[in-house]
Structure 1
Amino acid sequence: SFLGSTERYDAAVLDLGLPELDGISVLKQWREQGCNFPVLILTGRGRWSDELAGFGAGADDSLTKPFMHDEVVVRLRALVRRAYGHADPVLQVGPLAYDTLQGRFSMEGRRLAFTAQEERILAYLMHQPGVVLSRSDIVEHVYARDSDPDSNALDVLIGRIRRKLGVSMIRTVRGRGFVLAAPEGDEA
């Protein structure tokens, strides 16, 4: 019964206008099963009743078709950020900042460049500073659902991120995973 109830997601986009799918029922089912990830619903123009029903079933935000791709991305980033308890669009851990609206990282104001996979890892860590995240949790957030990365691919990516940060912020917790924290002595 739909992946929402069998997998963990940061957010979902649910189109209420698909003819073969009753989106409201899917959303109700997710909520009844305890799935608490944010849901952005898509509705057709003039379908205010769909929007009301969507919010009543547990939607967190909505967009009316047609919409711009960038708007979906920005709204999803905001939903994910708020789901992790962050009101400010710029996340800060010590000298490292992540602008969730722009999808950009900077260290003390200097822009940092990362590959797409590196960005996904670092963004995931930034949303949960001080929390030890397991290898499997990180892999699930970085790789496509059907891919099967080799065991040290994550270590290679973490190593690249550490080098680009230039300060010791990502720590390995033996047997448990990785944690992002401000450098020692940095109170921010």
Structure 2
Amino acid sequence: MADARSPGLPTDVVLVLEFINTLDVEKLVDAVPTPGALDAWCRARGLVSSSDAFTPDAFRAAIDAREALRAVLLSHTGEPLAASDLKTLERVASSSPLTVGFGQDGVSLRPAATGGWKALGALFAAIVSTQRDNHWLRMKVCAAGACQEAFYDTSKNRSGRWCSMAVCGNRTKLQRFRASPPRR
């Protein structure tokens, strides 16, 4: 399996995975704890211009979308998905309008809003791109409860459940082994 830092992954895949991974669930460290921090994160990735800024509403929507996306990608490993997570994404997407753009590279979706909503629109356009290019279902969240890192499943049969077999996979298997009744 590969994570968002793996070479060769499409830019849109990396963007979505990195956005979800702005919260390190295991260490409880949020890389974007404030509107200003999220604005800087988006600016570094070219999602907003210097004249754009995250309002408190757009910031809350971005954090809600991040956690709903985490739930959706966790469902790609077979975990149940709450309908409320999909409704959250639909609510945030409806405030992040997109337009169709035409260029020499073809047709694309582009954000049609300003400020933080522009960045969220770019994120949703990236999600549509990952679906179109058949990457969406390979984007997952580690099923190891304490980890929950977003990763790209490179397994041949798309059965990957952990961000790292060497760490989270082994940890999970060891926990199962220790919890099983002793053999006689």
Greater RCO (CA < 8 Å, at least 6 residues apart): 2
Larger radius of gyration: 1
- Larger strand proportion, structure 1 or 2? 1
**Do both share a fold (TM > 0.5)?**
no
Query: Shorter-chain TM-score category?
Result: under 0.3
Higher helix share: 2
Q: Calculate the TM-score normalised by the size of structure 1.
A: 0.26
